[in-house]
Amino acid sequence: MKRFYESIGRDAFEVIPLTFHIRHGCKQDDHEYMEFLKKFNELENFKQSFEDQFSANHKQKQRQKSKYLHHMQNEDLRVIQIPQMERNQTRKPFNKGEFFSPRESDKFSRLDLDQGILMDRSPFSSRRHNETTTVNKSKELFVVHEKNIAINNFGNAPDGVTTMTKFPSITTSKQANQNRTRFKSNYKKEESRANLSSVSTALTAEQQHFQNIWIVKPGENTNRGNGITVCSSFQEIKQIFNENNFDDYQAKTFIVQKYIENPQLYKGRKFDIRCYAMLTSVNGLLKGYFYDPDQSIHREGGGYIRTSSREYNLSKNKLQNKLIHLTNDAIQKRADDYGKHEIGNKISFKEYQQYLNDTNRGIDFLRDIFSSQIKRIITDTFRATANLVDPNKRCHSFEIFGYDFMLDSNFQVYLIEVNTNPCIETSQCPILQRVITDMLDSGFRIAVDPLFPPPNFQKRTSLNLPLTNWELIFDSEIDCQL
């Protein structure tokens, strides 16, 4: 695949994760190993730079927050205690008419005159009122916004008028509670804005949690998740290589693949997409097919989605938990809660589309993912391997492949692996019973029926394909000439 994409001027790692085939272990004569080592070190430096940058940004946000809170405190309510009258001084009854018009006097007569609180009515002050400021039990007077309010009211009183120790409140206790509630809401918004504002080097969530994790799996003769290891350090990967004797002609090779750390999740759990393709060889001519049934008839679609049993977690102490990171049936069946969330840990494409709709993703799975990205990648695999898959040009043969795909957080499709012996067990799962049964039946109509006609099978004289749910996407006579 990598060589094919290089030959057509495309980057293979746009459709497959970083992948290297290690044949000779930790040796300099293994080109793939040296390429892997180079890329691993690059990503490790990349990771360290992000950690340093994240630390610097965190400190900057803390400074922003402290500066913002300090500014808020300066703008909050200021407490001023107005001098009380001497105890032996005779208080003159308060005459509202000396200060207010009759209409205003009537208005204040309906308010509680014994609150001893003077509050600015401006919405600015109410909005920024600090909820931690409370009325002192000794009924100290609180003044908002400017000290001049108190000075003007008491220092410039008309001659012959005794200064007041009580003043009509400008607001009621109910209004004050409403202002505190409004302030609390606005305060949280302002605090959030201050924490996230204008940091030019801000990191994305994926960058902040980048851990340089890799998957090591056997290069051949394995399936059902056997031998797969999730590694977070080069020493772990090197140990796996050293345990294998690469000098033995029967020694295993290894596939080292970058772990997709920001996958799309289904209800908080990891998943992958299983699709099917078929390759037939008739008189040395190859034809490739993509299983894509009519959705109006076959509601399950051209494959299914396999989910994990446990919630996705990239903590180091969880990396060896295969129930989190591997969705293979053989692995998930070991879980005590296998089938707890979905029957057989499987969902159909239709169910996944409903989930996308419910979470407002704005994605049409069949249009944006299945029929566009996945079909194109499968076609590319046929074109990349056409000269290698059947070198002996056998007369009549066919093979069905199981393709496993994953989606990242941006709904970018990645080909994880191609299985030459995909599991076709139905395992009492209704989705598997419908998808696999129809997939095999339709495939046999193309590959087997022309050679071994079933009863009442009319011999075809034209080149038209029988009615089937497989779509022809590759023809060696045409595509290999391009």
Instruction: Assess whether 386 and 425 both reside in one domain.
Output: yes
Is-contact 309 323, C-beta < 8 A?
yes
User: Would you state the structure tokens that stand for residue 137, as one six-digit string?
Assistant: 């039990």
**Which is nearest to 116 in space by CA: 159, 69, 166?**
166
Instruction: Assess whether 354 and 224 both reside in one domain.
Output: no
Instruction: Assess whether 339 and 246 both reside in one domain.
Output: no
Quick one: CA dihedral 296, 299, 303, 306, positive or negative?
positive
Return d(Cα 69, Cα 190) in angstroms, integer: 10
Burial of 305 (0-12, 13-18, 19+ CB in 10 A): buried
pTM assigned to the model:
0.68
Instruction: Assess whether 295 and 411 both reside in one domain.
Output: yes
Is-contact 207 308, C-beta < 8 A?
no
Instruction: Assess whether 207 and 329 both reside in one domain.
Output: no
Q: Among the three residues 233, 259, 285, which one is the final residue of a domain in this structure?
A: 259
Q: Among the three residues 140, 171, 202, which one is the final residue of a domain in this structure?
A: 171
List the chain pLDDT tens, one digit each, 482 residues: 888 888 888 888 889 999 998 887 777 778 888 898 898 888 888 877 777 777 777 777 777 777 777 666 665 544 444 444 444 445 555 555 555 555 555 554 544 444 444 444 444 444 444 444 444 444 444 444 444 554 455 445 555 544 444 444 455 666 666 666 666 666 665 555 555 443 333 344 444 467 889 999 887 766 676 788 899 889 999 888 888 766 665 667 889 999 999 999 999 999 999 999 999 998 888 999 999 987 656 566 789 999 999 999 998 888 889 999 999 888 898 888 888 999 999 999 999 999 999 999 999 999 999 999 999 999 999 999 988 888 887 888 999 999 999 999 999 999 999 998 898 888 789 999 999 999 999 999 999 988 888 776 665 544 455 567 899 999 998 887 65
Instruction: Assess whether 112 and 46 both reside in one domain.
Output: no
Is-contact 457 449, C-beta < 8 A?
yes
CATH code of the domain covering residue 353: 3.30.470.20
Who's near 58: CB < 8 A, 6+ residues apart? none
Tally Cβ neighbours within 10 Å of residue 308.
26
Distances (CA, A) of 333 to 191, 306, 340, 342, 427: 47, 12, 11, 13, 11
Look up residue 88 and give its amino acid.
N
Return d(Cα 193, Cα 205) in angstroms, integer: 17
| Number of domains composing the chain | 3
